[in-house]
Every structure is written in C-alpha cells, then in structure tokens.
C-alpha cells in the first residue's frame, strides 16, 4: 500500500464521512428541483432547520446517555403539540407572540 492510500483507506473507514457524502448528494439532487432559487437559498433553509434538529438531538442524547438507555419518544409529540397550540393561539397576530411563546413553553412542562 502506498503512503497516500493508507490515510485514504483510514478515512473511508470513518462512519461520519458517509453522512457528509450523503448530505452532499441530497443537496446536489435538490438543486434541479428548485427553479428560481439558488443553491445558496436551499442551503440557508437547510441550516435554519438544522439548528432546531441539533437542539432536539442533543436533548435526546442526554435522555439516552444519562438514563438507563431509554429512548424518549415524547419529544416529537411535545414539539408538535407546542407548535400547534402556539400557532392557534397567536392566530397570525404579531402582538400575541409573547403569549404564544409562553403557551408553547407550558406545553413542554
């Protein structure tokens, strides 16, 4: 094995590499289906939603690692309930954002 192929072989064994490759392929496959929008807009939207998924994922990780290995399946239902209650309560009025936020936090408790 040459000096260059050994580090490459070690890199290809890393499981996280394939997640990045898959994400790049999905992004490239999305570009033809977004007429009128640039690839940058798609990437910006993906990063915006990714922040929420990271926060929820970290919370789920704490549940799994700090507990006896249980998976908390109530997180998606709680997020959906909180979003629905807050959206219904605010009803598109900017003046009710604070009230909607309090209602969403109350659903999470």
Maximum distance among all alpha carbons in the chain?
67
Does a structural domain hold residue 57?
A: no
Please write the tens of the pLDDT for every residue from 48-64.
Answer: 888 888 888 888 788 77
pLDDT recorded at residue 95: 92
Does a structural domain hold residue 19?
A: yes
Number of separate domains in the chain:
1
Residue partners of 59: CB distance under 8 A and separation at least 6: 75
pTM: 0.44
Buried b (16+ CB within 10 A) or exposed e, 54-81: eeeeeeeeebeeeeeeeeeeeeeeeeee
Please write the tens of the pLDDT for every residue from 23-41.
Answer: 889 888 887 887 777 677 7
What element of type H or E holds 100?
Answer: helix 97-108
**pLDDT band at residue 78 using 50, 70 and 90 as cut-offs:** confident
Domain coverage including residue 27:
1-33
Does a structural domain hold residue 70?
A: no
Contact 107, 78 (CB under 8 A): yes
**pLDDT band at residue 106 using 50, 70 and 90 as cut-offs:** very high
Distance (Å) of CA 78 to CA 28, 45, 56, 63, 81: 33, 23, 11, 15, 5
Does a structural domain hold residue 102?
A: no
- Report the SS3 class of residue 47: helix
Does a structural domain hold residue 60?
A: no
Token pair 């990063």 is at which residue?
Answer: 47
């Amino acid at each position: 094995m040459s000096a260059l192929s050994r580090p490459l072989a070690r890199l290809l064994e890393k499981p996280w590499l394939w997640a990045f490759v898959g994400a790049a392929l999905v992004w490239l496959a999305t570009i033809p289906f977004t007429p009128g929008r640039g690839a940058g807009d798609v990437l910006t939207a993906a990063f915006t939603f990714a922040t929420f998924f990271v926060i929820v994922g970290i919370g789920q990780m704490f549940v799994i690692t700090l507990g006896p290995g249980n998976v908390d399946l109530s997180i998606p239902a709680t997020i959906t309930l909180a979003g629905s209650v807050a959206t219904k309560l605010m009803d598109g009025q900017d003046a009710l954002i604070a009230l909607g936020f309090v209602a969403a936090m109350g659903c999470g408790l």
